[in-house]
Amino acid sequence: MSKYELLAPAGDLEKLKVAILYGANAVFIGGLRFSLRSRASNFTIEDIKEGCCFAHKHKAKIHVTCNIVMHEADTDEILEYLKALEDAGVDCIIASSIYILKLVIEHTHMEAHVSTQESIANPEAIDFFYKLGVNRVVLARELSLDEIEVCKKNSKVDIEAFIHGGMCVSFSGRCMLSNNMTNRDANRGGCAHSCRWNYDLVKDGITYNPKGDYFAMSSKDLCAIKAIPRLMDIGVDSFKIEGRMKSLHYIATVVNAYRRIIDEYEETGKVIDYNVYIKQIEKAENRLTSTGFLFGDTTIHEQLYDLNLTVPTKDFIGIVRGYDENTHMVYIEQRNYFLPNTTIEVFSPRGTFNLDIKEIFDEDGNSVDAARHPLQKLHFKSDIPLSEFDLLRLV
């Protein structure tokens, strides 16, 4: 097993399983309370128990986020909640509140990880939390590779760094814009993504931006594919992918790309072709990406001004739910439109290959002229056995 942890997001139990099957060593999730993604399909305690059992069976870990900015009312029942998470099998708690971190350290056997919301950007801050007793610090997302190296060299705890996903326009996610404009507090799980809204620039009743264009404050998503070797050389312990509200296809695709590049560099000491991994990620991305702050301060090229450039991909057409070895029938759940007599791409933890499909049937065995209904249960013949959670794409 790789000494570098690849930490993936999951918004529900199915995504948790997919993340692990496609290469994650650990998954971070949110419970029903104290999480910064209140609109994600957060986990019940029973879900967390099942997720922990699945993860531990595959030698992976489960991290739970308790990273809201704590108000007095939030202190009620927090210890009971942490105990319930521990009983469910959770390995680590991610928190920004020193109060929660101390509860984890003093009253449980779970690891305490300091959230990126603490904006830790120097060795002195890391040392403070080391003396508190934490196991890991998640660095601020605004650091360069050189700054990350300084932090790692002077750290007595594990260091975790973000490598992929959304980059908040505010420092370490400390945004008040959503709260001001919609009364939804981003620091307490209610971000309305106000920085991504369409805005006009108006002065004295005159609109200055061209028709159809707008001004925004959003940053491009982070993609650190080309920084992975340097981060590994630095000795970063955990590589974190952001996106608990992302799709199953996105998680599988992005996790697998980073799993493969980490393994390639760890095994050979080099990366032959970065574009292989970048092109794979592009199959699931619907926002433009940049390297963020990793190679220095950001410029206008790391900002996103035109959401017309962010077009959701329609290549993901279905997920395999089962395979009958006697009839050679593949049972799938459809996600996007496709036709019979089509060559598709099968994307799985075992690799990627093309498959020619002929006739398509619905649940009642009727032949269909097109797969046009999202979530429809369909099946078709394949002499190549497929497995549950294999993903299907258009070529």
195 located within any domain = no
Question: Which stretch of 47-61, 105-119, 176-190, 232-246 has the lowest confidence by average pLDDT?
Answer: 176-190
Contacts of 146 (CB under 8 A, 6+ apart): none
Quote the domain boundaries for residue 135. 5-167+220-309
Give SS3 for 373. coil
Query: Which alpha helices (H) appear in 58-134, and where do they start and end?
Result: 78-88, 98-107, 123-132
> How many distinct structural domains can be found in the chain?
2
Question: Do 33 and 159 belong to one domain?
Answer: yes
pTM: 0.91
Please name every residue paired with 31 in a beta bridge, in sequence order, or none if there are none: 43
Last residue of a domain, one of 259, 291, 309: 309
Q: Which of 81, 16, 20, 71 is nearest to 47 (CA)?
A: 16
Please tell me the distance from the alpha carbon of residue 274 to that of residue 330, in angstroms, as a whole number: 33
Question: Do 369 and 241 belong to one domain?
Answer: no
Question: Do 272 and 329 belong to one domain?
Answer: no
* pLDDT at res. 60: 98
CATH number at residue 136: 3.20.20.70
| Residue predicted with more confidence, 175 or 285 | 285
Question: Do 337 and 254 belong to one domain?
Answer: no
pLDDT at 307 over 70: no
pLDDT band with cut points at 50, 70 and 90 for residue 212: low
The encoded tokens of residue 279 equal 């092109």
pLDDT digits (tens, 9 = 90+) for 149-160: 999 999 999 999
Alpha carbons within 13 angstroms on the beta-carbon side of residue 228 total 30
* pLDDT at res. 126: 98
Please tell me the distance from the alpha carbon of residue 62 to that of residue 386, in angstroms, as a whole number: 27
Last residue of a domain, one of 277, 294, 309: 309
Question: Do 31 and 157 belong to one domain?
Answer: yes
pLDDT at 98 over 60: yes
Q: What is the DSSP pairing of strand 303-304 with strand 206-207? A: unpaired
* pLDDT at res. 384: 96
